[in-house]
Structure 1
Amino acid sequence: MSLDLPALRAAVAAHGVVVRILIVSVAGSVPREAGTSMLIWTGGEEGTVGGGELENQATAEARTMLAATALPRLRTVPLGPALGQCCGGSVTLAWERFDAASLPDALPFARPLAGATALRPTLTPAPGTPPQVRDGWLVEAAPAAGRPLWVWGAGHVGRAIVAVLAPWPGVAITWVDLGPDRFPATVPPGVTVLPAVEPALLVRHAPRDADHLILTRSHELDLQLCHALLLHGFTSLGLIGSATKLARFRGRLSSLGHTAAQISRIACPIGDPALGKHPQAIAVGVAAALIRSAGTGRHAEERDATG
């Protein structure tokens, strides 16, 4: 994870002064990974660095920093010996105070720690790189781009899926339906909303490596989208419905010129049927599948990188 600069700016605009707690590095068994952060302000907080006594003490220290300007603090905390937590690993935390005058302009973001004597490093970490301490400076990269996810339909299931997945930094969601009135009054931050009278015409604008979920209220529109996406290309394509619906679509898509191998790439039903058909249950199943596939891809890349 990397610094969510828009969220930090919004928190400062709303609360004036915030302290950000950042997990800089980890060793052994720990609740959260490096790059995880949370924000503290007078009377409130957002996010989590793992809960338990670690978070309890970290937030208490953060609140002591709200009143006075200070350089970032950095400390390594052994979870077992220091806090009595069973994880057994250790976490290096940074505490940093932000107000309107101290917000970073852009990423990557480098700032000196207490006692730093070296000049600002010229390090330019790749997007998504975990935080680094270099020559007395704390450096954070720009966030990695989330994998593109296009959600076609803003009904009950579409809303549940977007609500579950929008907070996850692993996706960049584009949400499509027939008109502005189809969407909820409040859309999660970071979600791109595209009202369209003819949604299938938007397929040409989707990245060819995007994941797609087709959830519209019209079976005919669902079929148009499947047809357009099979022609366009995608990483994955999920269609809400049943085995019966897929069988009918298979025949109609075949008559439109798609091969059996191409049509077999459509997943229907979506989610985990064992969880049930409630919109939230479908959303949980869909989210689990996407997160699992993202993790599999990441681990494969790591294996390739390490030989």
Structure 2
Amino acid sequence: MIRVRVISARGSTPRDAGAEMFVGPTSVEGTIGGGQLEYMAIDRARAMLVSGEAEARMDIPLGPEIGQCCGGRVVLHLDCHGPTPEDHPDVLVFGAGHVGRALALALQPLPVNATLIDSRAEELAQAAHGIAAKLTPLPEAEIRAARPGSAVVILTHDHALDFLLAAEALARDDLSYVGMIGSATKRAQFSRFSRERGIDPAPLICPIGAGFSVDKRPAVIAAFTAAELIARLTAASSLNKYPCNS
């Protein structure tokens, strides 16, 4: 594949520096903003695949001459590089019940590596096709092993397990998001639980997705939680830090 990355964006442009897409012989993953700019980059990338060229640069003014009226200027860097798991943040979804499965499905097309985690094989078996899943009797170990910048969403069938996982996540200071399904009452109970263990409950988001809607249908909770999660991950990436515990 050829990676096409925006390395400079001046004036009015459809995407900022850092945006990228991956071009294969018959497929494209991601976008640098669409329109003629993107068509030109795809054509150039596929020419590289045919010729074996390893690297190229494109400096494109977004004016009438290419059929775009943004008025800015974009510099693209093209190289032989396919997407890897390291290109996207990890999202650990604990609990393969109705909401957990819906959230994993909502995250599937987004630029994250989402994994649905549970100790119940029968629940994981109901996840949609293509969802990454992990069966484990020790879910807390997954939090300890998570990469810095990862996100943790807790939606298990057991409040005690929820509290254990949330405390484990908040014991770290390098996660970008820690959220738990629940109510104001559950939040208050967890606050007492965590303070008894010397853990600050303030960074925990609970209820999840509540800033958008009070609708309790699993797919709706999943949609708003995915939006909340992506907003936090985007902020963490742009600030080059992990704001969950900052």
Q: Identify whether the pair has TM-score above 0.5, normalized to the shorter chain.
A: yes
Change (3 A) 1:206 1:26: closer
Counterpart residue number, 2:30 = 47
TM-score, normalising length: structure 2 = 0.70
1:234-273 matches, cutoff 5 A? 234=173, 235=175, 236-250=177-191, 253=193, 257-258=196-197, 262-273=200-211
Confirm or deny that 1:221 pairs with 2:161: yes
Counterpart residue number, 2:72 = 89
Q: Which runs of 5+ in 2 are unaligned?
A: 242-246
Q: Secondary structure at the match of 2:58?
A: strand
Q: Which runs of 5+ in 1 are unaligned?
A: 1-7, 9-18, 97-102, 108-141, 303-307
Say which of 93, 101, 116 aligns to 1:159. 101
Counterparts of 2:36 and 2:146 in 1: how far apart (Å)? 45
Confirm or deny that 1:69 pairs with 2:11: no
The alpha carbon displacement at 1:240 in A equals 0.4
Q: Secondary structure at the match of 2:212?
A: helix
Counterparts of 1:66 and 1:202 in 2: how far apart (Å)? 40
Identity %: 35
The alpha carbon displacement at 1:68 in A equals 4.3
Counterparts of 1:268 and 1:155 in 2: how far apart (Å)? 18
| RMSD across aligned positions (CA) | 4.0
Counterparts of 2:104 and 2:77 in 1: how far apart (Å)? 32
The alpha carbon displacement at 1:180 in A equals 4.0
Say which of 264, 274, 277 aligns to 2:212. 274
> Could you report, residue by residue, the CA deviation over 1:21-67 in whole angstroms, capped at 9, with x for unpaired residues?
5445332221123451231424x54332211232244445656x389
Counterparts of 2:3 and 2:144 in 1: how far apart (Å)? 41
The count of aligned residue pairs is 234
CA contact (8 A) 2:21 2:29 kept: no
Counterparts of 1:197 and 1:67 in 2: how far apart (Å)? 45
CA contact (8 A) 2:25 2:49 kept: no
Change (3 A) 1:167 1:147: same
Counterparts of 1:207 and 1:69 in 2: how far apart (Å)? 38
1:265-304 matches, cutoff 5 A? 265-275=203-213, 276-301=215-240
Counterpart residue number, 2:244 = none
Counterparts of 1:77 and 1:172 in 2: how far apart (Å)? 32
The alpha carbon displacement at 1:212 in A equals 2.0
CA contact (8 A) 2:105 2:128 kept: no
CA contact (8 A) 1:209 1:233 kept: no
TM-score, normalising length: structure 1 = 0.58
Moved over 6 A (4+): 142-145
